[in-house]
Amino acid sequence: MKRSMIAAATAALLLSTACSTPPTAVVRQCDSSLKAAECTVTVEQLDKLATTTFNSQSSNRGVAVQATITVETGQAVVRVIGSQGVAAETTVMAGQPAEINARTIMKMGRKTGEKKDEGNSFRMEFDPQQPTTKLSASINYQVISQAEATS
């Protein structure tokens, strides 16, 4: 009886540890439609470059991105990256929220073999300049025409 209780407790501990999100993970949640999304991104502990990718199934490749970013401690450079590289960047510091606005062309999605086409995409990078905690970003993006993205 005692062994089975110890085994059950050990299994429960291992399962709870395996299911928890590491503090350095980029956690992204989005409410999205075909042409727009409202997202939140959080990273509890940012000690190395972290990225997240946003996808759209729209045939338009332009995107307008607006984001507000905060950190509890430290400092980080935040970049919006499209098909032609960095479209915009800003630095966020503890106690000083930062905003970023960008228009760019999304990287074109590809269909290869059995893989499903993930659609067009852009990325955001979070690059700590010193150890940074509790990064939080509120990100809104809207798919626009390529012409609007380059004007």
Tell me, yes or no, whether 16 lies in a domain: no
Helix (H) or strand (E) holding 92: strand 85-93
**Whether residue 74 has pLDDT greater than 80:** yes
- At residue 109, the pLDDT reads 79
Tell me, yes or no, whether 97 lies in a domain: yes
- At residue 20, the pLDDT reads 80
Residue 118 CA to residue 97 CA, distance in Å, equals 32
pTM assigned to the model = 0.81
Tell me, yes or no, whether 87 lies in a domain: yes
- At residue 19, the pLDDT reads 67
**Whether residue 117 has pLDDT greater than 80:** no
**DSSP string covering 4-47:** HHHHHHHHHHHHHHHHSPPTT--EEEEEE-SSEEEEEEEEEEE-
Tell me, yes or no, whether 146 lies in a domain: yes
Residue 1 CA to residue 119 CA, distance in Å, equals 54
Tell me, yes or no, whether 1 lies in a domain: no
Cross-strand bridge partners of residue 68: 99, 138
**What is the mean pLDDT of the segment spanning 46-64?**
93
Structural domain including 83 reads: 23-150
Tell me, yes or no, whether 64 lies in a domain: yes
At 88, which CATH number?
2.60.120
**What is the mean pLDDT of the segment spanning 34-55?**
95
Q: How many domains does the chain have?
A: 1
